[in-house]
């Protein structure tokens, strides 16, 4: 952490991050995410950190972390030692206990089935109807899940690419989990904790996480953290308009066609790399990309057609 942990715009160097989950090797969509966040860090003379979000063992694939890092290395990304979220569990537990002690969160005993029976569907799954919100002075409630209170106030942030975004968390999302029923820390809390601890000044990621940002800025508010800037670039979709992801069966990136991979990633990001870069040395592609990185080409776009289709 920098001295005094000061967060004023004048004193904070740019710090961005790429935060893969080890649920499979790097695919084209995640390469595009890595390229976009890397270029933002480079043009701002900043640091680019890698954070391995390995807090969901049931979904993890053995060997995925080393495969992802090997792909980043072979594509010429430069970064210091990655942070592994699995080493941070005690820290997350302390934050959750703090939220409970501060009356900002409460334990929930609902099963998934109970919630589905009682709740409406919102943008991020079922809207929790507040069943377990404690009655006055009732602190006897047990249960593994922990939810934070949301309010009917509007939560807003201004995205660097997508503009002003607002949401009424209580009615559109509901009190959301910071600890899951299986005892694991919820994704939103771990992300917020580490973006803060790592001093991330700008979060660059796909529009699929635009809705998560409302929960994350709410948590930042509850924890007394300043929010970083947010930039959600359009995600790469397949021919059906579905986001390329490990879940949707996106193919592993081929580490034997590095230049072409980078070329198509830049092409997908509307950067118009010249044809000759497809076979150029990696260093030349990165130099071109840093010199020509143009965010305006992406402004207001929510999705990008699948650049990897062009790789065949
Ligand atoms: Zn409940």
Q: What is the DSSP track for 252-271? A: BP-TT-HHHHHHHHHHHTT-
Q: How far is the CA of 109 from the centre of ligand 1 (A)?
A: 5
User: What is the pLDDT, as a whole number, of residue 198?
Assistant: 96
Residue 250 is predicted with a pLDDT of: 72
Range with lowest mean pLDDT among 31-45, 144-158, 176-190, 293-307: 293-307
More confident residue, 235 or 189: 189
Ligand 1 centroid to residue 276 C-alpha, Å: 58
Which string of b and e fits 211-230 if b means at least 16 CB within 10 Å? bbbbbbbbbbebbebebbbb
Q: How far is the CA of 20 from the centre of ligand 1 (A)?
A: 30
pLDDT at 258: 96
What is the reported pLDDT for 1? 38
Side-chain half-sphere CA neighbours of 112 within 13 A: 4
User: What is the distance in A from the centroid of ligand 1 to the CA of 262?
Assistant: 46
CA distance linking residue 265 with residue 310, whole number of Å = 11
Instruction: Give CA–CA dist 219/200, Å, rounded.
Output: 15
Tell me: pLDDT of 208 over 70: yes
Q: Give the pLDDT confidence score for residue 5 in this predicted structure.
A: 44
Q: Is the pLDDT of residue 53 over 80?
A: yes
Question: Residue 111 C-alpha to ligand 1 middle, in angstroms?
Answer: 7
Q: How many helices (H) and strands (E) does the chain have?
A: 9, 14
Q: Ligand 1 centroid to 103 CA: how many Å?
A: 16
Residue 95 CA to ligand 1 center (angstroms) comes to 20
- DSSP letter, residue 136: T
State which fold the 90-187 domain adopts. 3.90.800
Ranges assigned E (strand) in 120-249: 120-122, 125-127, 145-148, 154-159, 163-168, 177-179, 202-206, 229-233, 235-237
Q: Looking at residue 142, what is its pLDDT?
A: 65
Looking at per-residue pLDDT, the higher value among 312 and 96 belongs to: 96
Q: How confident is the model at residue 249 (pLDDT cuts 50, 70, 90)?
A: low
Spacing, Cα 4 to ligand 1 middle (Å): 39
- What's the rounded mean pLDDT across residues 64-89? 97
Query: CATH topology for 11-87+192-311?
Result: Rossmann fold (3.40.50)
**d(Cα 308, Cα 205) in Å, to the nearest integer?**
19
Cα 168 to Cα 151: distance, rounded to the nearest angstrom: 8
Q: Which two tokens stand for residue 158?
A: 């201004």
Concatenated DSSP letters of 16-57:
EEE---SSSS-BHHHHHHHHHHHHHHHHTT-EEEEEE----G
pLDDT at 9: 46
CATH topology match: 11-87+192-311 vs 90-187: no
Question: Per-residue pLDDT averaged across 76-100, rounded?
Answer: 97
- What percent of the chain shows pLDDT beyond 70? 90
Segment 95-109 shows an average pLDDT of 95
Domains of the chain, by residue range, sit at: 11-87+192-311, 90-187
Does pLDDT of 137 surpass 50? no
Task: Say if residues 214 and 127 touch (Cβ distance below 8 Å).
Answer: no
Q: Interior CA angle at 185 toward 12 and 94, to 5°?
A: 65
Q: Supply the pTM of this predicted model.
A: 0.89
Q: How many CB atoms are located within 10 Å of the residue 98 CB?
A: 13
Nearest CA to 31 out of 215, 221, 269, 293 is that of 269
- Cα 77 to chain center, whole Å? 19
Distance CA 209, CA 206 (A): 6
Q: Nearest 5°: phi and psi at 120?
A: -90, 160
| pLDDT for the residue numbered 305 | 73
Give the chain's length: 312
When comparing pLDDT for 139 and 243, which is higher? 243
Helix 210-223 × helix 89-101 angle, to 10°:
70
Gap between the Cα atoms of 193 and 219, Å rounded: 9
For residue 117, the CA-to-ligand 1 centroid distance in Å is: 12
The token duo for 268 is 């997908």
Contacts of 95 (CB under 8 A, 6+ apart): 178, 189, 193, 223
Distance 137 CA to ligand 1 centre (A): 17
User: DSSP letters along 1-16, please?
Assistant: --GGG---TTTPPPEE
**131: CA distance to ligand 1 center in Å?**
5
CA of residue 179 to ligand 1 center, whole Å: 12
> To the nearest whole number, what is the mean pLDDT of the chain?
89
Distance from the alpha carbon of residue 176 to the mean position of ligand 1, in angstroms: 10
Q: What is the pLDDT of residues 259-291, one digit of tens each?
A: 999 999 999 999 999 999 999 999 999 999 999
Average pLDDT rounded to a whole number, residues 1-9: 43
Is the pLDDT at 311 greater than 60, yes or no? no
Given a cut of 70, whether residue 139 has pLDDT beyond it is no
């Amino acid at each position: 952490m920098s001295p005094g942990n000061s967060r004023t715009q004048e004193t904070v160097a740019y710090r961005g991050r790429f935060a893969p989950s080890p649920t499979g090797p790097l695919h084209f969509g995640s390469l595009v995410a890595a390229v976009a966040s890397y270029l933002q860090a480079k043009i701002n003379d900043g640091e680019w950190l890698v954070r391995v979000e390995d807090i969901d063992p049931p979904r993890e694939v053995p060997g995925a972390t080393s495969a992802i890092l090997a792909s980043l290395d072979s594509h010429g990304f430069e970064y210091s030692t990655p942070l592994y979220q699995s080493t941070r569990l005690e820290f997350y537990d302390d934050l959750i206990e703090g939220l409970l002690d501060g009356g900002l969160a409460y334990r929930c005993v609902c099963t998934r089935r109970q919630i589905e029976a009682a709740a409406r569907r919102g943008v991020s799954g079922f809207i929790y109807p507040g069943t377990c919100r404690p009655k006055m002075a009732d602190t006897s409630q047990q249960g593994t899940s922990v939810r934070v209170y949301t309010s009917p106030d509007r939560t807003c942030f201004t995205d660097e690419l997508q503009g002003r975004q607002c949401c009424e968390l209580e009615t559109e999302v509901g009190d959301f989990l910071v600890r899951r029923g299986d005892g694991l820390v919820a994704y939103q809390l771990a992300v917020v904790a580490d973006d803060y601890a790592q001093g991330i000044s700008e979060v660059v990621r796909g529009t699929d996480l635009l809705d998560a940002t409302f929960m994350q800025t709410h948590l930042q508010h509850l924890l007394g953290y300043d929010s970083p800037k947010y930039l959600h670039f359009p995600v790469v979709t397949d021919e059906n308009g579905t986001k390329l992801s490990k879940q949707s069966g996106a193919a592993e990136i081929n580490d034997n066609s590095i230049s072409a991979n980078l070329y198509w990633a830049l092409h997908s990001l509307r950067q118009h790399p010249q044809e000759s870069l497809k076979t150029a040395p990696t260093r030349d592609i990165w130099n071109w990309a840093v010199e020509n990185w143009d965010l305006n080409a992406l402004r207001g776009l929510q999705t990008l057609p699948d650049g990897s289709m062009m790789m065949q």
